[in-house]
Amino acid sequence: MYKVLYRKWRPQRFSDVIGQPHITTTLKNELASGRISHAYLFTGSRGTGKTTCAKILAKAINCLNLQDLDPCGECEVCKGIEDDSILDIVEIDAASNNGVENIRNLREEASFTPTSCKYRVYIIDEVHMLSIGAFNALLKTLEEPPEHVIFILATTEIHKLPSTILSRCQRFDFHRINPYDIADRIMFIANEENIKIDDAAALLIAKFSDGAMRDAISLFDQCMSKSNDISVKIVREASGLADSEQLLYLTDCICKKNTSEALNVLNNLYNLSKDMVRLCEELIDYFRNMMIVKTAEDCESIVLSIGENLTKLNEQADLLELDHIIYIMDILQAALSNMFKGVNKQVEMEVTIIKLCTKIPSISLESLEARINNIEKSMNLCKIKANNLVNEISLKSKIEANLSKENDQEFTKKEIINNKNFENSNVSDTKILENKEENLSENIVKMKDWPKVLRTLKSYSQVVGTAFKNSTAYISGGYVLIDAPNSMAFELLKKPSQREKMRTAIKEITGTVYKLGPYKPIDVPKGTENIDNLNKLLDSAEKAGISVKRI
């Protein structure tokens, strides 16, 4: 009789287990030290190796000839466990043996010494299915079992186990297996079975398995029944999925809002008996990959696409904004949920496609309220800034009236006018001269010859010339006010020798001696544009049917 592949290729040694090195290494260390626990709890998603590791552990603790801490597979105990002829290894399905009587029988059996092995091992699969009474009946035995008894509990839903059970077991968490590890295992099995399979097809099988090795091997087994040369097309046919070209074309239609073509593709897929639920799941997965491509730099290991598929994914991601992609995923998730409520799946999918091709992402009430609140906060902040600005201008006017006209202090003086915090700076050559007034001209004109000044300045000082790269200068009365993006430029001008080089360069180009200062325009409080945005949001709210009261 034919033996399915996932049973035929089930690992027989710890070294054969794929993707769980943190589990196998710990178990082998316990075997090496002889510190075997009386109760183990294996938890994780389906197909990740929980029952497999339980059987290997049962063999290893009873094997007569361990090979590098792995069961030899050749002794009578290993062979007896493999063909189920040894009754000391008991595997119980808690889904169908979940009553108090079943556990009482187990307790009675556990009191007897093993007949062929060193330890009697009870493997209880899907242990979360036990009733409350069964759990209570198991507690005492699980806490203090006979010396010859070991319990191995396995579950996919750890949250359903009572804390009294968890505290009595040594817990091991099995991870989802990496898709590339699954693909490598599929390629290995294909080679052993003399089956040809593409790398892309193996990766697609791994992707559909969702980290479960058993699911992946089962799908591979199904593909083998169709062909001995397995391609991506064969994998999609075996799993009931849409052809990759049709899926890409349907996605293109959604991105470009081509409703009629999208509906034609959907109708063709339905006539080919493609499952609408699987199609919806595929679209969700594809747009999820598009979202990752849009946000992550190194995304190849996350999206699991290779070659031309990855190139096409990048091209389509460029057609949509991130918000639109998330909106599409929300619509598809809602459609998937509706399909499980008994609605006509074809009609639901058609409505969803029309929504995706015609509608623009709408503004939800929650997001609208949040944006209005943000604008109100921004407007209040603008009012505070405006009041502070009035006080600052008043303070600057008082400081300006007491500044000196001395050349060595002219840069510092202008900086004080534009920055009230400069009074606290530690500049050694700064002095504030009192009882002298000077009124700067209110007419500020951009200096057209400033690039020539900078070129001349470089001939005097390469350092100063470079520091003022991309700067701009303005003329205000007898001052040249400099606007430079580099803070180092103003640090240089605080030195008298550097200021003198700047004045010399300006005089050489303009023929006029100017005083120097930093250009720091007064910030005008923002708020007008926020009011416009608020009015637009209120208009959107009224169109969406939301009652809005304008004051």
Residue 246 belongs to a domain with what CATH number? 1.20.272.10
Residue 203 and residue 161 share a domain: no
Selection from 332, 385, 423, 374 nearest residue 523 by Cα:
385
3-state secondary structure of 212: coil
3-state secondary structure of 197: strand
Q: Which of 46-50, 292-296, 452-456, 463-467 has the lowest mean pLDDT?
A: 463-467
Please report the sign of the dihedral spanned by the C-alpha atoms of residue 181, residue 186, residue 191, residue 193.
positive
Q: Which of 25-39, 55-69, 126-140, 230-244 has the lowest mean pLDDT?
A: 230-244
> Are the C-beta atoms of residues 508 and 544 closer than 8 Å to each other?
no
Helical H segments across 154-230, by residue range: 163-166, 179-192, 199-209, 213-224
Confidence band of 82 (pLDDT split at 50, 70, 90): confident
What average pLDDT score do residues 115-139 get? 90
Question: Is the model more confident about 195 or about 523?
Answer: 195
Instruction: Dump pLDDT digits (tens) for 283-317.
Output: 898 888 888 888 877 666 677 655 556 777 778 88
Give pLDDT, residue 299: 66
Residue 468 and residue 426 share a domain: yes
What average pLDDT score do residues 75-96 get? 87
Q: Over 60: is that where the pLDDT of 78 sits?
A: yes
- Count the helix, strand and coil residues of the chain and give each as a percent rounded to the nearest 5: 60, 10, 35
Give pLDDT, residue 423: 34
Give pLDDT, residue 95: 85
Residue 89 and residue 228 share a domain: no
Residue 383 within a domain: no
Give pLDDT, residue 209: 84
Residue 391 within a domain: no
CA distance 211 to 174: 11
According to DSSP, residue 362 is labeled P
Helical H segments across 231-306, by residue range: 232-239, 244-255, 259-271, 276-295, 300-303
Give pLDDT, residue 489: 75
Residue 143 and residue 206 share a domain: no
Give pLDDT, residue 404: 42
Instruction: Dump pLDDT digits (tens) for 319-335.
Output: 888 888 888 899 999 99
Listed in order, strand segments (DSSP E) in 334-430 are none
Give pLDDT, residue 110: 87
* Chain position carrying tokens 């209040």: 380
Give pLDDT, residue 536: 63
Selection from 413, 399, 249, 223 nearest residue 316 by Cα:
249
Residue 202 and residue 136 share a domain: no
Q: Which of 251-265, 363-377, 506-520, 523-537 has the highest mean pLDDT?
A: 251-265
Query: Which helix or strand (DSSP H or E) is residue 481 part of?
Result: strand 479-483
Q: Which of 422-426, 495-499, 510-514, 529-533 has the lowest mean pLDDT?
A: 422-426
Q: Which of 227-236, 434-443, 472-481, 512-521 has the lowest mean pLDDT?
A: 434-443
Judged on CB neighbours under 10 Å (0-12, 13-18, 19+), 398 is: exposed
What end-to-end distance do the CA atoms of the chain give, in Å? 82
Instruction: Dump pLDDT digits (tens) for 45-57.
Output: 888 999 999 999 9
Q: Which two tokens stand for residue 425?
A: 């700076």
Residue 17 and residue 92 share a domain: yes
What average pLDDT score do residues 38-66 get? 91
> Are the C-beta atoms of residues 112 and 83 closer than 8 Å to each other?
no
Query: Which helix or strand (DSSP H or E) is residue 474 part of?
Result: strand 472-476
What average pLDDT score do residues 371-380 get? 76
* Chain position carrying tokens 């510190």: 35
Residue 19 within a domain: yes
CB atoms within 10 A of CB 383: 11
Judged on CB neighbours under 10 Å (0-12, 13-18, 19+), 218 is: middle
Residue 384 within a domain: no
Residue 525 within a domain: no
Domain that holds residue 73: 5-175
User: What CATH number is given to the structural domain containing 459?
Assistant: 3.30.300.180
Residue 529 within a domain: no
The domain tally of the chain equals 3
Residue 204 and residue 147 share a domain: no
Q: Which residues are paired to 41 by β-bridges?
A: 153, 171
Q: Which of 362-376, 420-434, 519-533 has the lowest mean pLDDT?
A: 420-434
Residue 412 and residue 343 share a domain: no
Judged on CB neighbours under 10 Å (0-12, 13-18, 19+), 471 is: middle
Q: What is the residue type of 173?
A: D
Give pLDDT, residue 358: 81
CA distance 305 to 312: 10
DSSP string, 511-545: SS--EEEE--PPPPPP-HHHHHHHHHHHHHHHHTT
Question: Is the model more confident about 377 or about 202?
Answer: 202
Q: Over 50: is that where the pLDDT of 177 sits?
A: yes
Residue 98 within a domain: yes
CA distance 216 to 223: 11
Question: Is the model more confident about 241 or about 28?
Answer: 28
Residue 407 and residue 272 share a domain: no
User: What CATH number is given to the structural domain containing 36?
Assistant: 3.40.50.300
Q: How far is CA 310 from the centre of its chain?
A: 18
Which of left, alpha, beta for 491 (phi over 0: left; psi -120 to 50: alpha)? Answer: alpha
Confidence band of 401 (pLDDT split at 50, 70, 90): low
Q: Over 50: is that where the pLDDT of 430 sits?
A: no
Q: Which two tokens stand for residue 54?
A: 């339980």
Residue 200 and residue 161 share a domain: no
CA distance 63 to 72: 7
Question: Is the model more confident about 259 or about 362?
Answer: 259
According to DSSP, residue 121 is labeled E
> Are the C-beta atoms of residues 461 and 439 closer than 8 Å to each other?
no
What percent of the chain has a predicted confidence (pLDDT) above 90? 16
Q: Which of 23-32, 127-136, 184-193, 299-308 has the lowest mean pLDDT?
A: 299-308
Question: Is the model more confident about 542 or about 153?
Answer: 153
Q: What is the residue type of 53?
A: C
Confidence band of 434 (pLDDT split at 50, 70, 90): very low
Angle at 357 between CA 354 and CA 361, to 5 degrees: 105
Residue 352 and residue 481 share a domain: no
CB-based contacts of 432, cutoff 8 Å, min separation 6: 402, 403, 404, 413, 416, 423
CA distance 53 to 310: 36
What average pLDDT score do residues 350-378 get? 74
Q: What is the residue type of 299?
A: C
Question: Phi and psi of 398, rounded to 5°?
Answer: -65, -40
Q: Over 50: is that where the pLDDT of 74 sits?
A: yes
Residue 368 within a domain: no
CA distance 316 to 324: 12
What average pLDDT score do residues 394-417 get? 48
CA atoms within 13 A on the CB side of 199: 5
CA distance 531 to 361: 23
Report the chain's mean pLDDT, rounded to a whole number. Answer: 79
Rounded alpha-carbon distances, angstroms, from residue 424 to 34, 389, 428, 431, 495: 72, 19, 12, 12, 18
Residue 111 and residue 67 share a domain: yes
Give pLDDT, residue 23: 92
Question: Is the model more confident about 502 or about 216?
Answer: 216
Confidence band of 24 (pLDDT split at 50, 70, 90): very high
Q: Over 90: is that where the pLDDT of 343 sits?
A: no
3-state secondary structure of 149: strand
